[in-house]
Chains A and B, each alone.
Chain A
């Protein structure tokens, strides 16, 4: 039995990846939940908004790399991120102006909005494939590791190594900064308060003189920023592929619903719940168990509950369980 090595292995393969993935999901789910709270529909185009923002950031990153601008040891993409957010915000505002505003004026049913967002999703998906192509793109540069396995082993003298990728560190730090800013904005500023008021009760908010178009515009701006940040962090951590971003929609929706749609705190909790379950259920526990259990109990097989091909099934099953037992989510959102 060797608990220290077991813990290091666990951190290396489960805790750290799950924290990074959870932060990315949480940022994505925050975007979905904000749209749900303010505009009152499930935005199916969110995954592709993420893809579009990431694509804009990648193109600008390449331009910067061509010009020789870099943020070494950090990835150049961080410098390009604000510009990517700007491009994404322009597209999202144009979509709102061209597509969604008409249906808001008509007071269309939420399900019509969902259908429309499906149309927007395919147009955005088409745009992304049209501009950058459907293939894998890697755009991460700069230092690869904060601490690599070899350095860690030399430092501590343990058998097992622990690697923290720069992108994982950046993901967590950026996510914390973004979330703090968002909550400050929602709870302390006048515009943020008017957004919450609009989300709680539209008619009362209108009566007290809140301009709905402005609230909607600010919401889209924040959503564009959240989506681009989430997308770029995911792309840095893994790689950018348009179809993968479309598939991210399921875990993101699951996170938002598990936490309670329309509830920002819930979105964060939901993101980490989904990420940890996904990683833990598809991880092969053989090595950890080999360290943590006495030799006689160590498993023969991989001790993997579910093959990694089924990671979407994990978020789906969690989603079903929540819908069955607590449809409003863990943090009681507004959806019934």
Chain B
């Protein structure tokens, strides 16, 4: 079997799974899985860039995805004028002051000669800067959050088209990745993992607690959409006419049509990113990356700046995750910081890349679709399995109740087992790197 027939076979299987889901349960579910599968494939592409091309282990994907989600709010929501008038300027000034403090500290660190003077100067700048920042910031935040807290209580966004949020999400994620990469790259390989684990937790903590930014756990709902609303479609005569002529109920038709629009948009982004990633992989730059991954010492001896190249690819990969995060929040239509969990957003993407085939872009895309389908289906299958296992037990028996309740945690176990099995028995994945 040649590579091409094998790949066609694999993607044929994915199509069959989706169509099977459509026939067995509903087309609505199938197209939802397809949409999230497309987003997952993009995340997997980003992680594949980091791990497959360069061997960088990033366990903070959740954080970069969440930054993408934040970008949607900041770009697309209409600005809250009263909040801006009340304290917007103070908050922005405070953030600028905070940034200036850090820049000043770095400048002082580089300018002053090594010794006690430098330490003292640095501390003085940081402490004074921190208190000024807090004084300006706290009053601003209080003013902003006091404005209509039930529906607003935050600064809002820029009111720009939501599609613009996708590249902006990438930029935000890239910025965070640059800070992490600058400190943790060039040291032991595990340090990057630990640092990314930390930044992800902190980004989520910020999203949950900074109400002035994106309403925290009060969630931002009703984000603008790039697709029409179902209700408008149902009220439009031409749409209803067309749906009935096809023999579909207009309500079902409208939900399917909206989701199909999203699917089209996501496919375009996936294709663009996939083509870019393929070009990168086969360019001299991609070959250099793999050379660095396979033997850092040899690559360094050939005059390659290993740390700088690592930083470059780490930022690029994180940016792709940020884009995917912005797309996902757009699809959901709301930003809910409480739903970001490392299992779902970090670990699952890792399983996708490993199962699909690290180092191969097509493999990452395949893994994205396949594992996402599995992820959605594990819970009903687990519940069904538990019902079969416990069918012999009496109703209300404690073990039966316990097992049925625990079926929800099957996902953790299944994904862990899948990862370990693939790492052990097929470390190159379904579509191995050439």
* Interface of A toward B, CB cutoff 8 Å: 41-42, 44, 99, 102, 109-112, 114-116, 118-123, 125-127, 129-131, 133-134, 246-247, 249-250, 253-254, 257, 301, 305, 307, 309-310, 312-313, 315-316, 319-320, 323-324, 327, 335-336
Asked if A313 contacts B205 (CB within 8 A), the reply is yes
Asked if B424 contacts A102 (CB within 8 A), the reply is yes
Partner of A309, one of B183, B208, B409: B208
Asked if A122 contacts B194 (CB within 8 A), the reply is no
Asked if B205 contacts A312 (CB within 8 A), the reply is yes
Binds A, one of B81-89, B195-203, B229-237, B239-247: B195-203
How many whole Å from A322's CB to the nearest CB in chain B? 10
Asked if B190 contacts A127 (CB within 8 A), the reply is no
- 5 A-B pairs closest in CB distance: A126-B412, A126-B413, A122-B416, A123-B416, A316-B198
Asked if A133 contacts B205 (CB within 8 A), the reply is no
How many whole Å from A130's CB to the nearest CB in chain B? 5
Supposing A253-B194, A310-B202 touch, asked if A323 and B59 sit within 8 A by C-beta, the answer is no
* Interface of B toward A, CB cutoff 8 Å: 55, 57, 59, 130, 138, 183-184, 187-191, 193-195, 197-199, 201-202, 205, 208-209, 342-343, 347, 350, 354, 405-406, 409-413, 415-417, 419-420, 423-424
Residues of B within 8 A of A335 (CB): 187-188, 190-191
Q: Is the interface of A mostly helix, strand, loop or mixed?
A: helix
Residues of B within 8 A of A130 (CB): 406, 409-410, 413
Taking A310-B209, A323-B191 as known contacts, 13 extra A-B pairs with beta carbons closer than 8 A to each other, sorted by chain A number, are: A109-B189, A111-B190, A115-B423, A119-B416, A119-B417, A125-B412, A130-B406, A307-B209, A309-B209, A316-B198, A316-B202, A319-B194, A323-B195
Partner of A116, one of B184, B202, B410, B423: B423
CA gap between A250 and B60 in the complex, in Å: 12
Supposing A111-B57, A114-B190 touch, asked if A119 and B423 sit within 8 A by C-beta, the answer is yes
Residues of B within 8 A of A121 (CB): 416
Most buried by B among A44, A115, A120: A115
Asked if A42 contacts B205 (CB within 8 A), the reply is no
Residues of B within 8 A of A116 (CB): 420, 423
How many whole Å from A148's CB to the nearest CB in chain B? 33
How many whole Å from B432's CB to the nearest CB in chain A? 16
Residues of A within 8 A of B420 (CB): 99, 116, 119-120, 123
Asked if B202 contacts A312 (CB within 8 A), the reply is yes
CA gap between A125 and B343 in the complex, in Å: 10
How many whole Å from A300's CB to the nearest CB in chain B? 11
How many whole Å from A121's CB to the nearest CB in chain B? 8
Supposing A129-B409, A310-B202, A312-B202 touch, asked if A122 and B191 sit within 8 A by C-beta, the answer is no
Asked if B416 contacts A120 (CB within 8 A), the reply is yes
Q: Which residue of B lies closest to A311 (CB)?
A: B205
CA gap between A307 and B138 in the complex, in Å: 12
Asked if A336 contacts B188 (CB within 8 A), the reply is yes
Asked if A122 contacts B208 (CB within 8 A), the reply is no
Residues of A within 8 A of B138 (CB): 301
Most buried by B among A109, A315, A323, A335: A323
Q: Which residue of B lies closest to A113 (CB)?
A: B190
Asked if B197 contacts A122 (CB within 8 A), the reply is no
CA gap between A259 and B413 in the complex, in Å: 33
Asked if B183 contacts A111 (CB within 8 A), the reply is no
How many whole Å from B64's CB to the nearest CB in chain A? 16
Supposing A257-B194, A324-B183 touch, asked if A122 and B415 sit within 8 A by C-beta, the answer is yes
How many whole Å from B77's CB to the nearest CB in chain A? 23
Supposing A119-B420, A123-B417, A133-B405 touch, asked if A310 and B188 sit within 8 A by C-beta, the answer is no
Asked if B189 contacts A111 (CB within 8 A), the reply is yes
Residues of B within 8 A of A131 (CB): 406
CA gap between A44 and B138 in the complex, in Å: 37
Q: Which residue of A lies closest to B138 (CB)?
A: A301
Residues of B within 8 A of A120 (CB): 416, 420
Question: Can you identify 16 A-B contacts, CB atoms within 8 angstroms?
Answer: A110-B190, A115-B354, A119-B419, A122-B416, A122-B419, A126-B416, A246-B342, A250-B197, A257-B191, A316-B199, A319-B194, A319-B195, A320-B195, A323-B191, A324-B183, A336-B187
Most buried by B among A102, A120, A313: A313
CA gap between A264 and B140 in the complex, in Å: 46
Partner of A249, one of B183, B197, B202, B419: B197
Q: Which residue of B lies closest to A246 (CB)?
A: B342
CA gap between A114 and B420 in the complex, in Å: 12
How many whole Å from A132's CB to the nearest CB in chain B? 10
How many whole Å from B429's CB to the nearest CB in chain A? 13
